[in-house]
Structure 1
């Protein structure tokens, strides 16, 4: 809104958040009330997903259908203004899922209004060595995911889009070849460094403080981190702070007791986002053993503060790092991922100066590539390319190879 004369159209549930942010309804944003459809789909997903905090593919798939009614209302409210040429382009940001379609793309194309879609993110296959975790997460629908290409408006959405933005390399790879010349790779997440200020992390003694942030569910891998700490054979004393809550918490607490880690592993519970920086302030490392992570917003927030990220080398988080800013762990199953975290801790113990080097590199990388200002500038370049026929921008993360 600071760099464009834009109008946001959002679902009515977001209204209060927009007002708290200081936006003016009617001038800065409009709301769409399709709660009748949204509630019905939410009720249906509740019975199909297999339990709270499970079956998220089911939730995503069903909720995407509510956007058909959402876009119908958008056209009813703004169709005449769009056809009159009041807007230079339409950018549909949500939902992130690459399975979702946009019926409005055809109508916009008929009136020569550029349509931009994205960032799209998701659809990452479950790693082969984690079938049991997928089962515990009730992700049965992911086995049939490719049928999304049969959804109404799938081809038309992509054919009529002036530009598509993918939020990860995997999602970029799933775009039809016919779209690649109109596609860009921009990571889904970004960070405000003022909210997550930098402090150089240095390992000056024999105690390493590790933070885990995330929902306590099987695929996030907090149990793998606990197992690695329990098995660590070196002299480095590793303290773990687990930030988050979820259905796996009691299981994790039991594991901590069984392994005798009660004085080394603490549970902070759910922490409000505004308080996260303060809670992370004393940690050296952010550990993310998640085996199926699409984005990795918490990785960028930790990097901004100078925490050293150690992540499973799959999905979105490792795409945010390089060798000067973090550690990515190759793995094929639970055992190799646990062993990889052990090796990372051993590497730090053998070279304690690595913490400061990676801490500084992480903070620098975030400020060069992953702030909201950088992301806004990249989107503005795409807007100009679409509207003004400017040369296609070459973005820092544009090459998905």
Structure 2
């Protein structure tokens, strides 16, 4: 019996780096996980070259580094000036990236166009950028060459919930008010028409790209877990203990969390571990004056974050605007039950079996919802062990990078068969979900 032929995949991951976080870590994790299910050659930006080499990949055979710095570097510096603060103005950064990224793809085609046209690759898969606002000239060129082009995971553009205009302004998200104008940009429609499959990292994004690519959308959340990095098993003891991990900025809601937990902290019925730093730190410490059992850890190395979080019963995370919610999966991998706002990424990752979802509302309503949920668990923590185990099980079955690679491999099978793909919900109860409505 002949072994099944592994597809030859050219994986485009301009942002991919095992030593960084956020989008570069997603790009690296998915691109390298796909090597277990396909013969993958990764194309990345030259700034990632040394990290690839340190990770043991071989330049030329495993990856190619494209030097687009002549254009990318000045554009990045411009984005840093326009975003008006470190970590702020994310929409502005994406707008500048939409201008600079096409140069990278032109260089990719210059280097690999002949090989793609000659059929040396079965699939071309653009993994990063994750933003749905950035079109791809490669999609049409691959279609002309008869090579399936897979796009994604795409994620982003989750609207700011009503009642949080102050938080929006604090994040310098002025450009977000006109973000939807990207749909009018040249190349967007052609990219979706020429793509053989579009991986959507969130249901919001799936709906956003529904026209003209709705028959090609596959829902696969962007984040995953490396079991080598998250290998502890939570073992909390004593009174209810909550953990917060993230930047201390308004939309993450650390002030709402302290307000919600304050009565339990005063009564000695709860402890709170705040991991992270940011502009809200002085105000949060002032808010916590007189409260026992709250610790501000600042930023910590990964291993220490894992150790602190593993001592908690709950990830208490009232953020109101998370595209992916990677920290939620990280907590679940440790067996820490997530308590989140039922909105965007975290709301999609958490089910009632594995965590607690507080309805998204006004600031006061979210704080009240967290207070009620925390009080209920302080009164009766009995449900927590079963939820913790269910959270770990869900990560193992659905959210390891190896599981995501297998999900993407199914998409490769569909596009290589030359037929429309059934649109699976790898994360639902029945295994199949309807296509999102446009």
Structure 1-normalised TM-score? 0.94
User: Which residue pairs with 2:391 in the alignment?
Assistant: 362
- 1:113 counterpart = 2:178: no
Q: In terms of mean alpha carbon deviation, does 148-157 or 275-284 score higher?
A: 275-284
Kept in 1: contact 2:243–2:312 (CA 8 A): yes
Q: CA deviation at 1:174?
A: 0.6
- 1:213 counterpart = 2:245: yes
User: Which residue pairs with 1:133 in the alignment?
Assistant: 167
CA distance in 2, matches of 1:66, 1:23: 27
User: Which residue pairs with 1:396 in the alignment?
Assistant: 426
The equivalent position to 2:364 in structure 1, one of 335, 346, 362, is 335
Aligned residue for 2:65, secondary structure, equals strand
User: Which residue pairs with 2:20 in the alignment?
Assistant: none
User: Which residue pairs with 2:12 in the alignment?
Assistant: none
CA distance in 2, matches of 1:283, 1:74: 46
User: Which residue pairs with 1:249 in the alignment?
Assistant: 281
CA distance in 2, matches of 1:346, 1:316: 25
The equivalent position to 1:323 in structure 2, one of 352, 357, 360, is 352
CA distance in 1, matches of 2:318, 2:103: 38
- 1:238 counterpart = 2:270: yes
User: Which residue pairs with 2:120 in the alignment?
Assistant: 86
Q: CA deviation at 1:230?
A: 1.6
Deviations 1:141-184 (A, max 9, x none): 00000110122211110010000000011101111333121110
**Structure 1 gap segments, 5+ residues each:** none
Distance 1:202 1:43, change over 3 A: closer
The equivalent position to 2:207 in structure 1, one of 173, 184, 188, is 173
- 1:150 counterpart = 2:184: yes
User: Which residue pairs with 1:311 in the alignment?
Assistant: 340
Q: CA deviation at 1:275?
A: 4.0
CA distance in 1, matches of 2:433, 2:228: 29
CA distance in 2, matches of 1:246, 1:146: 29
CA distance in 1, matches of 2:81, 2:332: 39
Kept in 1: contact 2:135–2:187 (CA 8 A): yes
- Please give the residue correspondences for 1:291-302 in structure 2 after superposition, counting only pairs within 5 Å: 291-302=320-331
Kept in 1: contact 2:234–2:310 (CA 8 A): no
Distance 1:39 1:303, change over 3 A: same
Q: In terms of mean alpha carbon deviation, does 148-157 or 224-233 score higher?
A: 224-233
The equivalent position to 2:73 in structure 1, one of 39, 49, 64, is 39
User: Which residue pairs with 1:162 in the alignment?
Assistant: 196
Q: CA deviation at 1:344?
A: 0.9
Kept in 1: contact 2:102–2:136 (CA 8 A): yes
User: Which residue pairs with 2:416 in the alignment?
Assistant: 387
Q: In terms of mean alpha carbon deviation, does 190-199 or 342-351 score higher?
A: 190-199
User: Which residue pairs with 1:345 in the alignment?
Assistant: 374
Q: CA deviation at 1:232?
A: 4.1
Q: In terms of mean alpha carbon deviation, does 176-185 or 8-17 score higher?
A: 176-185
CA distance in 2, matches of 1:340, 1:95: 35
Q: In terms of mean alpha carbon deviation, does 356-365 or 233-242 score higher?
A: 233-242
Deviations 1:47-95 (A, max 9, x none): 3222222211111221232210000000111111111110011000111
CA distance in 1, matches of 2:151, 2:73: 25
Kept in 2: contact 1:116–1:164 (CA 8 A): yes
The equivalent position to 2:231 in structure 1, one of 172, 197, 214, is 197
CA distance in 1, matches of 2:94, 2:310: 34
Kept in 1: contact 2:241–2:272 (CA 8 A): yes
Structure 2-normalised TM-score? 0.86
- 1:26 counterpart = 2:89: no
Q: In terms of mean alpha carbon deviation, does 264-273 or 155-164 score higher?
A: 264-273
Aligned residue for 2:278, secondary structure, equals coil
User: Which residue pairs with 1:224 in the alignment?
Assistant: 256
Aligned residue for 1:385, secondary structure, equals helix
CA distance in 2, matches of 1:121, 1:391: 22
CA distance in 2, matches of 1:184, 1:236: 47
CA distance in 2, matches of 1:45, 1:236: 46
Deviations 1:353-373 (A, max 9, x none): 111121111111111211111
